[in-house]
């Protein structure tokens, strides 16, 4: 990582860089747990992963909706209403023969502040970046062809970069107006860890977790 200049004229540390570096370990842990780039991934295990993700998104979005009701200006600034995607996970799960009508109960605390909301949303929105790679991989697996194209991993298509850029702008604006970057990073780490522990015992394929090469997140400008 490039060392940031210090001293009176130094620019404040960038919150997006802090989020990426501060959650790198948690991201890797979650990626290894889900193991979605496994060449032997089949429809049964993908459905098991999607069921966990669907349940998590339902609860996380409930909490963010609660926050949005009490902070409508902040929610509008980050375009929260257009970032919900639990319904897409439900549709993908149904396409794979799963039942999205009764998601397992997972406790995801509602954000207590806009700092916490944006930290949690960083995790949910950032997953659309890795989602592009996941979708590309799924398209190569003949065992998944009958499910048709899935939409939840990469919901924005060609708009992925633009939606991420808009999110980054909104987060930086929030911090410039007095938001607490440390609180954002702490909330993002909690969200990653909660999701990893919620998914920890998801059914593994024959090759087990963390098989094959892992990816790195180096390609996205912070």
| Contact footprint for ligand HEM (CB under 6 A) | 19-20, 27, 30-31, 34, 36-37, 122-124, 126-127, 129-130, 133-134, 195, 215, 217, 219-220, 222
CA distances in angstroms from 85 to 56, 148, 151, 155, 220, listed in the order given:
11, 18, 9, 8, 22
Shortest distance in whole angstroms from residue 43 CB to ligand HEM: 17
Task: Tell me whether residue 72 or residue 143 sits nearer to ligand HEM (CB atom).
Answer: 143
Neighbouring residues of 27: CB distance < 8 A, sequence distance ≥ 6: 192, 217
Neighbouring residues of 67: CB distance < 8 A, sequence distance ≥ 6: 75, 110, 111, 114, 116, 117
Shortest distance in whole angstroms from residue 176 CB to ligand HEM: 18
Q: Are 11 and 177 in contact (CB under 8 A)?
A: no
Shortest distance in whole angstroms from residue 6 CB to ligand HEM: 23
Task: Tell me whether residue 75 or residue 124 sits nearer to ligand HEM (CB atom).
Answer: 124
Task: Tell me whether residue 9 or residue 158 sits nearer to ligand HEM (CB atom).
Answer: 158
In this chain, which residue has its C-beta nearest to ligand HEM?
126
């Amino acid at each position: 990582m490039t060392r940031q200049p210090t001293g009176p004229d130094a620019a404040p540390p960038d919150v997006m860089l802090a989020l990426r570096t501060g959650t790198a370990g948690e991201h890797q842990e979650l990626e290894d747990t889900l193991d979605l780039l496994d060449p032997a991934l089949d429809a049964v295990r993908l459905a098991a992963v999607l069921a966990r993700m669907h349940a998590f998104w339902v609860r996380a979005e409930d909490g963010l909706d609660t926050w949005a009701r009490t902070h409508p200006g902040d929610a509008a600034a980050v375009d929260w209403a257009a970032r919900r995607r639990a319904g897409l996970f439900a549709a993908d799960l149904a396409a794979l023969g799963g039942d999205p009508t009764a998601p397992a109960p997972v406790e995801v605390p509602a954000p207590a502040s806009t700092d916490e909301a944006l930290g949690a949303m960083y995790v949910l929105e950032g997953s659309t970046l890795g989602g592009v790679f996941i979708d590309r991989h799924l398209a190569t697996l003949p065992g998944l062809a009958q499910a048709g194209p899935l939409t939840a991993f990469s919901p924005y298509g060609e708009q992925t970069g633009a939606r991420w850029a808009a999110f980054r702008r909104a987060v930086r604006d929030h911090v410039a107006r007095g938001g607490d970057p440390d609180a954002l990073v702490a909330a993002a780490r909690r969200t990653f860890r909660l999701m990893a522990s919620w998914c920890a015992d998801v059914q593994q394929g024959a090759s087990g977790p963390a098989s094959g090469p892992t990816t790195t997140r180096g390609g996205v400008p912070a």
